Amino acid sequence: MRDEPECPPLVLITGGGEDRPAFLLAWEVRESAPSDWSAWVAWVRESGGRQARHVTTVRAARLRPLEPPEAYRSVPRRVRCMDGVIRPWAAGEPPGD
């Protein structure tokens, strides 16, 4: 039995002048734009000689997988509803239903 937590899968963030590897934390879609998926990602960056975590959202279209497809199956998917509530997304369910 493993005691250590699973590590989020790696992705490559493209565009913006420099490709950057990052951990994929979650997929998110807005209820008002059900075809416009974003991704929450994290990476370590250096600032002023110190390392710091950086967490942000990027458009899903900017990501490229760096691991086999099965590595991404456990990444949470959620819907940001128009009333501000964030809820899990169910496969095949259009946001807002």
List, for residues 13-64, the tens digit of each pLDDT value.
Answer: 999 888 999 999 999 999 999 889 999 999 998 888 999 999 999 999 999 9
Per-residue confidence at 2, pLDDT binned at 50, 70, 90?
low
The pTM (predicted TM-score) of the whole model is 0.83
Band of residue 96 on the pLDDT scale cut at 50, 70, 90:
very low
Burial of 23 per CB tally in 10 Å (0-12, 13-18, 19+): middle
Q: Is residue 66 over pLDDT 90?
A: yes
Q: How far is CA 10 from the centre of its chain?
A: 10
| pLDDT above 70: residue 80 | yes
Query: What is the rounded CA–CA span in Å between residue 39 and residue 63?
Result: 8
Structural domain boundaries of the chain?
Answer: 10-88
Give the residue among 12, 23, 95 at the shortest CA–CA distance from 61.
Answer: 12
pLDDT for residue 47: 83
Residue 45 exposed, middle or buried by CB count within 10 Å (0-12, 13-18, 19+): exposed
Residue 82 in this model has a pLDDT that exceeds 60:
yes
